[in-house]
Amino acid sequence: MYQAKESRLAKFKKELKRGKHYYILMAPYFIIFGLFTLIPVAVSFVLSFFHFNMLEFPNFIGWDNYSRLFLNDDIFMIALRNTFIFAVITGPISYIACFLFAWIINELSPKVRAFMTLIFYAPSLSGNVFFIWLIIFSGDSYGYLNGFLMSAGFILEPIQWLRDEQYILWVVILVQLWLSLGTAFLAFIAGLQTIDRSLIEAGAVDGIKNRWQELWFITLPSMKPQLLFGAVMQITMAFAVADISIALAGFPSVNYAAHTVVTHLMDYGSIRFEMGYASAIATVLFTLMVGTNLVIQKLLRKVGE
């Protein structure tokens, strides 16, 4: 057993020596990633077991933050439900939309493809452009949607789209979907450009009869890295909704109708300064994201089978 360990260590040292130039080039990224991602995540997890208000020394309280979170915090349960609704609706729809639009645009000529890519990517590129939706869903008769519905005779008085809790969440979901053609969309466009055309020709010889079979057996398996990257980006976006909710529905929204886990985290972390409790919220959110990503990775491995 000792010899086996020594052999693995020698093999590791040999591999390290052989690829030292690559590791040296990657070192700046790994150092920055470790300092600003890995260490904060680890510190947040440890801090979730403490009571810490940034004024007093942290006090160890064990699992009290988590028991409070799931047993005594009704607002967190509302936020968790809203976040799951966001993730279940916006995640799959935006992911599929990103790929379908990329797949269609990829068939166009290079100049038209570049123009259409810009058109579809522009909303996510334009920062706070989603504020235009405040005018569309304005609660008075001057709002574009209310004005249209009243002039068409569908309603008699304006609807408070961003103040009525039965509409708020769905308005935010709609705007989130409008902004969803972002980095994943560009990754899919790039992935489609790298597919070896000879594989398509070979597939035609082997019996692939239509574009859907070509998509399932050739295109998707050839794009697994981009599909995985796009899934990670869309899952992160779906679970991390906050800015749009705050901008459209306020903070907090009416009866917490558009409250999410991230806005709950912001409430306790940047307003109340209950850093231990905020760390527990962040840990739960991180666990949800990682778990969902693992499930998606397992599903993507079956693509093309």
Tell me what the mean pLDDT of segment 180-185 comes to: 78
What are the DSSP calls for 168-233, one per residue? HHHHHHHHHHHT--SHHHHHHHHHHHTS-HHHHHHHHHHT--SHHHHIIIIIHHHTHHHHHHHHHH
In the block, tokens 């690829």 appear at 19
The confidence score (pLDDT) of residue 281 equals 93
Q: Which of 37-51, 148-162, 218-232, 270-284 has the lowest mean pLDDT?
A: 218-232
Nearest CA-CA partner of 41 in 289, 241, 292, 246: 289
Q: E-assigned strands of 5-86?
A: 50-51, 59-60
The confidence score (pLDDT) of residue 32 equals 92
pLDDT tens-place string over residues 22-81 = 888 888 888 998 888 889 889 999 999 999 888 888 889 989 999 999 998 899 999 999
10 Å CB burial of residue 252 (0-12, 13-18, 19+) is middle
Paired residues of 50 in beta bridges: 60
Radius of gyration of the CA atoms of the chain, in A: 24
The confidence score (pLDDT) of residue 232 equals 82
In the numeric block, which tokens belong to residue 216? 């399932």
The confidence score (pLDDT) of residue 298 equals 82
- Indicate the SS3 state at residue 292: helix
Confidence class for position 277, pLDDT limits 50, 70, 90: very high
- Indicate the SS3 state at residue 159: coil
Q: 3 vs 303, which has greater pLDDT?
A: 303
Tell me what the mean pLDDT of segment 239-268 comes to: 87
State the Cα–Cα distance between residues 228 and 45, nearest whole angstrom: 26
Q: 131 vs 163, which has greater pLDDT?
A: 163
Mean pLDDT of the chain: 83
pLDDT tens-place string over residues 85-118 = 988 888 888 888 888 888 888 888 888 888 888 8
Confidence class for position 304, pLDDT limits 50, 70, 90: low
The confidence score (pLDDT) of residue 5 equals 53
- Indicate the SS3 state at residue 63: coil
CA torsion 241-243-248-250 (nearest 10°) is: 100
Cα-flanking dihedrals φ and ψ of residue 49, to 5°? -100, 10
Tell me what the mean pLDDT of segment 115-122 comes to: 81
CA torsion 105-110-115-121 (nearest 10°) is: 50
Tell me what the mean pLDDT of segment 182-201 comes to: 79
